[in-house]
Amino acid sequence: MESDSSDEILTLGSTASLQLGQDDPPLSPVQGPESQQQAAAPDDAEDSSEEKSFEEVDEPEQRSRFNATSDKALLAEVLATPPFAADRKTVTGVWKGVANRLNATLSEAFSFRECRDRTSLLLRKYAVRKARNEAASGTCELHTESDDILEQLQQLKNAAEQQKNKAKSTSKTQELETAGQLLMQAAEKRVSERLAAGTKDSGHPKCRRLSTLLDQELEEAIERRKLEAEKVELHREELQLRREELKQQNLSKSCYASRSSSKLLRPSPF
C-alpha cells in the first residue's frame, strides 16, 4: 500500500512540474558536412557571380566587310601595283602593301589574304559575266568603272601567266640543251674508251674510224633528246586541253544557271 501511494505522489508531482515548467526549446537537427556545404553553396555562388561581374570581358574582334565602295578602292590599289607578275618570295609583300594602303584610305582592317581572295573572287565573277554576255549577244558590254578596271586586271593577269609559261618553257629548253651537251660528252667518252680497249686487245686500232663512232653516238643522243622533247610537248598539250575542258565546263554551268534563274523569274502565262 505504501508503494502504491508513493507512486501516485510521484506521478502527480511530475505532472505538476511539467504543467508549471516552461516549454523546452525545439531541438535543432544536427547538421552534417553535406548540409553545411549546401548552406554555404549560395554564398559561394553569390561571391563567384560578384567576381564575374567585376571581371573584364574582351570585346569581340570587329572584322571589316567588303562593299561596293571598298571593292572599287581595292581594285584601284591592285591596278596601281599589280601583284600578278611577282614571284613567290615577293607576292605576299605586294599584297600586304595593297592592304595597308586600302586600310589607310578607308580606315578599315582588311588583311592581305582578304584583299587577295576578294580580288580573285571579283575577277572570277567578271570572267563569268563577260562570257555570259558574249554568249548571249556576241559582244561584251562594259557598263561600270569597276568593269573597266577588272578588264585591265584580267589582261595583266593573262600577260603575267603567259610570261611565266614562256619562262618555264625557256628553262625547259635550256635543260634539254644542257642534257644534250652532256650526252655528247658522254658519247665521246664512250668512243674513246672503246678505241682504247680495241687497241689493247688487238694491238692495232679498229677499222672503224673515230668519226663513225662519234656520228653513231651523236645520232643516238639526238634521238633521245627528241623523245624527251616530244614527251614534254605532249604533256603540255594535255594540260592545255584539260584547262580548256575545265573552262568550257565552268562556262556551261554558268550559262545553265543563268537560264534556270531566268525561267524561274519569267511570269507564268496562266
- pLDDT tens, 98-153? 999 999 999 999 999 999 999 999 999 999 988 888 887 766 555 677 888 999 99
Q: Tell me the C-alpha distance between 218 and 186, whole Å.
A: 10
Which helix or strand (DSSP H or E) is residue 205 part of?
A: none
Residue 61 carries which DSSP code? P
Place of cell 605532249: 234
Question: 162 or 137: whose pLDDT is higher?
Answer: 162
**pLDDT above 50: residue 191:** yes
In the structure, what pLDDT confidence band is assigned to residue 217 with cuts at 50, 70 and 90? confident
**pLDDT above 60: residue 86:** yes
Contact 154, 124 (CB under 8 A): no
Please give the sequence-ordered ranges of beta strands (E in DSSP) within 87-227, or none if there are none.
none
The answer for residues whose C-beta is within 8 angstroms of residue 218's C-beta and 6 or more apart is 184, 187
Q: What's the whole-number mean pLDDT along residues 157-184?
A: 77
Neighbours of 238 (CB within 10 A): 10
Provide the residue ranges of all domains of the chain, joining segments of one domain with +: 74-260
Q: Tell me the C-alpha distance between 116 and 98, whole Å.
A: 9
Q: Tell me the C-alpha distance between 135 and 22, whole Å.
A: 108
Question: By C-alpha distance, which of 221, 187, 220, 193 is closest to 206?
Answer: 193
Q: Tell me the C-alpha distance between 203 and 34, whole Å.
A: 112
Question: 50 or 154: whose pLDDT is higher?
Answer: 154
In this prediction, residue 21 carries a pLDDT of 46
Question: What angle is formed at CA 71 by the lines to CA 69 and CA 72, rounded to 5 degrees?
Answer: 65
